[in-house]
Amino acid sequence: MRMAVYSAREDEEPFFHHFAPEYGMEIVMIPTDPTPETLEAAAGCDCVSIVTKTHITPPMLDAYKAMGVRFLSTRTVGFEHIDVDYAEKIGMGVGNVGYTPYSVAEYAVMMMMMAMRHMKTMTVRAMGQDYGLDVIRGRLIHDATVGIVGTGKIGATVATILQGFGCKVLAYDLYQNPALEGMVEYVSMEELLRQSDIVTLHAPATADSFHMMNAQTIAMMKKGAVLVNTARGDLVDSEALITAIEEEHLGGAALDLVEGDRLIYYREKKGQQLKNRYMSILNGLPNVIMTPHMAFFTDHSVSDMVENSIRSSAEYLQSN
């Protein structure tokens, strides 16, 4: 079995070489992103491993199919960058990967704390040797009500971590997680937004969840509340978020993702004009913390993602 691995980061490569022999996989490293021009580099491979930088279109899937590729694995949880329906139509398998929920969950709680304690303003001022206390008095998570939207593995882990802070935790999901009984109080989305001092998003990106946080739902949020997003950029209507912060309805936001960030994050953009006005505006707001889609990025998660990409590919090839 041979796997074409596109765009492997330097930190991923040792894990590929470590796990490949365990699953009987030969690895072919391709340093570029998958594009119509680089597809031929996967010739002779049974499967392909990618990340989210490129949208995999039907013509690209046809080309892979014609050269003998049978399975496409994305080293991410999300797979909206792949035309899955078309892949299924032509008989090509598609798989995503899971990884420890603690990486994103711990990061989400960290971002809650940073937003509540005005860490962006504090850090920028300290770098300029301004050590005054004005406008940086923070709030305690212990005193807050935290609303978790989405209680799958990551959302449930956030709820578990928050038990140590002693705060009230509300939750909303289409399906209640029985493991959280006694930890959270399930309420309607509207009630969660009205009561929560912090709203943290842990929902998948689907047609139904697109812009779930929009002008109408953001208006339901408590005045001064903080929005945390470590899930998917498309969950939040950036225009509505900017308006709510500028009008001081919200107290701030902590964002590991922003809609339209796929062509910007993980790339060198120093000294360039960002072709995403939402990111430019949000990054300039003193009470908005932005990080470049890195909540997942721990040694444990990278190992999980690489191993699961190889393992799922090997299992598919051996059973189909």
CATH label of the domain that carries residue 133: 3.40.50.720
* Containing structural domain, residue 278: 102-290
Based on the domain organization, do 17 and 107 belong to the same domain?
Answer: no
Q: Are residues 268 and 133 in the same domain?
A: yes
Q: Residues 267, 166: one domain?
A: yes
Residue type at 310? I
Report the share of the chain in percent with pLDDT over 70.
100
Q: Alpha-carbon distance 152 to 101, whole Å? A: 9
Helices 102-116 and 299-319: angle between axes, nearest 10 degrees: 150
Residues 264 and 315 in one domain: no
Residue 269 pLDDT: 77
108 shares its domain with 143: yes
39-84 pLDDT, tens digit each: 999 999 999 999 877 789 999 999 999 999 999 999 988 788 899 9
Q: Do 271 and 200 lie in a common domain?
A: yes
Angle formed by the axes of helices 102-116 and 153-162, nearest 10°: 50
pLDDT at position 52 is: 76
Residue-level pLDDT at 62:
95
Shared domain check, 236 and 116: yes
3-class DSSP state of 289 = strand
- How many other C-beta atoms lie within 10 A of the C-beta of residue 208? 9
Residue 29, number of CB atoms within 10 A of its CB: 15
CA angle 57, 63, 65 (to 5 degrees): 100
Q: What is the pTM of this model?
A: 0.88
Q: For 164, which DSSP code? A: G
Is residue 307 located within the same domain as residue 197?
no
197 and 142 inside one domain: yes
pLDDT of residue 270: 81
Rounded Cα–Cα distance for residues 187 and 190 (Å): 8
Q: What total of structural domains would you count in the chain?
A: 2
Torsions phi, psi for 161 (to 5 deg): -60, -40
Q: Which residues of the chain have pLDDT under 70?
A: 266
**Do residue 124 and residue 37 come from a single domain?**
no
> What is the per-residue pLDDT for 298?
95
Is 60 exposed, middle or buried, given 0-12, 13-18 or 19+ CB atoms closer than 10 A? Answer: buried
- Asked whether residue 262 falls in the same domain as residue 143, the answer is yes
User: What is the rounded distance in angstroms from the CA atom of residue 294 to the CA atom of residue 279?
Assistant: 16
Q: Are residues 163 and 281 in the same domain?
A: yes
Q: Taking Cα atoms as reference points, which of 175, 157, 229, 217 lies closest to residue 193?
A: 217
Q: What is the pLDDT of residue 206?
A: 87
